[in-house]
Amino acid sequence: MSIESQNVTDYPNTNTIFMVWTFKDDPQLKTIFQQLCALILNLNNSAFNRFPDSRVSCVMGIGYDAWKKLELPKPLPKELAEFEEIKGVKHTAVSTPGDLHFHLRADNQSLIFDMAVEISKLISSVAESILEVHGFKYWDARSILGFVDGTENPHGSDRDYFAKIGDEDKQYKGGSYLFVQKYLHNMDAWKGLSTDEQEKVIGRSKENDIEMSDEVKPSNSHIALANIEGENGEELKIVRDNMPFGNPSTNEFGTYFIAYASTFTTVKKMLTNMFIGDPPGNYDRILDFSTAMTGTLFFVPTRNMLDEFSG
């Protein structure tokens, strides 16, 4: 049987809903989880058949504690664990709870709204919703900060290579590590910077999205620290599906950072660079304007595994 992954390599869409749930202590949990796995498969298949051009998908990730509580296969995926906070001299990548994560996306907001309703209706008796974020495409794929987001994302076959587990963990081949953070932006402080100062924080031009040369780019710019390499100089990438969100009436604006990766080590190295700095103390300047409110690691099983879990 061929391995079918969940839609972790789909490109960011116009509309997105992110949901994080934690389990209650309920004797029906395992039964509801079986039904949930079947529902996720059904929602994806039905939406694709009914609206093949809508680029709709629902991806479910499972946290470390949830994996153990549900008594899912052992040994666990090699790098699935509770995310440990990364504390720098000024900023911290916090660790927050989460048993299930849902990433819903579509051109048509109605599709993912209905998906979210069905998921919530099924699991609300055994789980509690602790986070729901509605993201949207802002202009030409820009964050609320005004800069294009995701320029360094891999394309083509590289998306599979960097997002999905390979032969290094054959039991979970085709699965993916999913890491998420909800960032809130201090827009007043950000808008207090000139365009030139903002560009130095990011490491790219604001209008044309052109990366600064190494001679000009500050060592603490976001691009300088978030783009990482391996020990032998090889590129280490992740598949980002970041989406902006905002509530103008409450002055809450942010970015939901979401990364799919074949290994969590890559994500951790990037976060360490950003929050601790390279060298230590030379942290990512964007963190002076963007605060990580959450931080949770999940594992995205293949569709084959969801089918097995559904009983």
**Distance (Å, rounded) from C-alpha 16 to C-alpha 190?**
25
Range of the structural domain that residue 62 is part of = 15-309
In-domain check, residue 6: no
Average pLDDT, rounded, for the chain: 97
Could you report the per-residue pLDDT of 254-299, keeping only the tens digit for each? Answer: 999 999 999 999 999 999 999 999 999 999 999 999 999 999 999 9
Mean pLDDT score, 68-77: 97
Q: What is residue 156's predicted lDDT score, i.e. its pLDDT?
A: 95
Choosing from 10, 107, 149, 307, which is the catalytic residue? 149
Least confident range of 56-65, 164-173, 228-237: 228-237
DSSP string, 203-267: TB-TTT-PBPPTTTS-TTSHHHHHSEE-TTS-EE--EE--EEEEEGGGTEEEEEEEEEES-HHHH
In-domain check, residue 3: no
CA atoms within 13 A on the CB side of 6: 31
CA-CA-CA-CA torsion sign (298, 154, 172, 175):
positive
In-domain check, residue 138: yes
Q: Which of these, 254, 139, 259, lies nearest to 206 by C-alpha position?
A: 139
CA atoms within 13 A on the CB side of 257: 21
Please name the residues in contact with 97: beta carbons below 8 A apart, sequence gap of 6 or more: 22, 63, 65, 130, 296
Mean pLDDT score, 233-249: 95
Q: What is residue 230's predicted lDDT score, i.e. its pLDDT?
A: 87
Structural domains in the chain (count): 1
Please name the residues in contact with 208: beta carbons below 8 A apart, sequence gap of 6 or more: none
Using a pLDDT cut of 90, give the percent of the chain over it: 97
Q: Is the pLDDT assigned to residue 1 strictly greater than 80?
A: no
In-domain check, residue 106: yes
Q: What is residue 285's predicted lDDT score, i.e. its pLDDT?
A: 98
Question: How many angstroms from the chain centroid is the CA of residue 106?
Answer: 16
Q: List, as own/partner pairs, every contact residues 170-174 make where C-beta atoms lie below 8 angstroms and the sequence separation is at least 24, other chains included.
A: 171/73, 171/75, 171/77, 172/77, 172/78, 172/299, 172/301, 172/302, 173/3, 173/302, 174/3, 174/4, 174/5, 174/302, 174/304
Confidence band of 232 (pLDDT split at 50, 70, 90): confident
Annotation says 149 is catalytic: yes
In-domain check, residue 1: no
In-domain check, residue 7: no
Mean pLDDT score, 71-88: 97
Q: What is residue 39's predicted lDDT score, i.e. its pLDDT?
A: 98
Confidence band of 141 (pLDDT split at 50, 70, 90): very high
Q: What is residue 92's predicted lDDT score, i.e. its pLDDT?
A: 98
Q: Is the pLDDT assigned to residue 81 strictly greater than 90?
A: yes
In-domain check, residue 89: yes
In-domain check, residue 163: yes
